[in-house]
Copies of this chain bind each other. A is one copy, B any other.
Amino acid sequence: MKVNGRSYRTVWMDKASVFMIDQTLLPFGFGIYEARSYTDSCTAIKEMVVRGAGAIGAAAGYAMAQAILEGAWEDARKTIESTRPTAQNLFYATERVYNAALLGGPAAAVLIAQRLADEDVECCKRIGVHGAALLKDGCRIGTHCNAGWLAFVDFGTALSPVYTAHRQGKKLFVYADETRPRGQGARLTAWELAQEGIPHSIIPDNACAYFLSRGEIDIMIVGADRIARNGDVANKIGTLEKAICAKEYGVPFYVAAPTSTIDVSCSTGEDIPIEERSMDEVLYQTGLAGNRLEHVLVCSPGSPAKNPAFDVTPAKHITGIITEQGIFSPENITAALSAK
């Protein structure tokens, strides 16, 4: 996608270096992080220079290829896999690159790392093509959190249909939920849309039902962190509220995600654990004061907060799930796996 008019991926490899958009600087700054060694790449993954399932996977694959180029094997793999131990894609990537190296040496490792990144891009592109068919010219789209290209190598999931339809010449408008407490909608989604030149507005999370009730949102598209076999979807906190409100006003509510998000070990959403994060994410906000970042207390001093990071939206509130294999009804989502 475009940044200052130039096309970028979130992560790429050139010779022995891995380059990443430094996401710790967004949305107030833009810079490229160069990892000259696999240990540099590990630091970048750990410190969230790169974040999001797809982007982490690609970065880990490149890091493994770097390690092989440097003559580091087992220990390097362990180091890479310890950077973000709950990121599923990371293990898949290191395994594929490592096995390729065993058979074909450093050249094969680099080739497979490159292929993994390309596969991520291709998958997101296909989600975009399937989803864009749902977006009419003049369409007003609501979204929650950031399921854009910054979380993947390119295009993203929920925003991929928007980018595709925009490039098809359709006029679109996006309502980006702020997405408290971490503000990924206000910070990352708005930033991505501005860079691509897509008209949009940030709205407080509280205002979504207001715009739905007035017929000002035609369709909602969100991403997914995990999808159960029955089509229940775990995603950023607040997704459930938006889905219930969309249904109240008869507005279609879509989830966009690669089929790798389907977790066949979860029969329903009740099997998906919900992470409770630090209350400080609610109590404090980081923002720009002049040209420096400040971390400020925005709540009554001493009061506690609860901060569940995700919620589960039951399949019955979801109109369809947009995958790289096509659009499936949530109840039939496992058919997307057999379509592979």
A residues with a Cβ closer than 8 A to B are 26-28, 175-176, 178-181, 183, 186-188, 190-191, 193-194, 200-211, 213, 236-238, 240-241, 244-245, 248, 274, 282-289, 294-308, 311-312
Contact = CB atoms under 8 A, between A and B. Distances in A.
Contacts of A190: 299-300, 303
Given A178-B180, A294-B289, A201 B245 contact: no
A213 B186 contact: no
Contact of A207 (B244, B286, B297, B308): B308
A146 B133 CA distance: 44
B202 A282 contact: yes
* The 3 residue pairs across chains A and B that have the minimum distance between CB atoms: A206-B238, A287-B296, A27-B300
Contact of A285 (B236, B237, B287, B306): B287
B285 A202 contact: no
A296 B303 contact: no
| Most-contacted residue by chain B among A176, A178, A181 (CB, 10 A) | A178
Contacts of A312: 213
Given A27-B299, A202-B305, A203-B282, 20 more contacts: A28-B301, A178-B299, A180-B206, A183-B298, A186-B282, A186-B303, A200-B304, A201-B306, A203-B306, A204-B205, A204-B305, A204-B307, A206-B241, A209-B241, A210-B237, A210-B240, A211-B306, A240-B245, A287-B296, A289-B297
Contacts of A296: 285-289, 294, 296
Contacts of A206: 179-180, 205, 236-238, 241
Nearest to A181: B204
Contact of A299 (B187, B210, B295): B187
Contacts of A298: 183, 186-187, 285-287
A44 B238 CA distance: 38
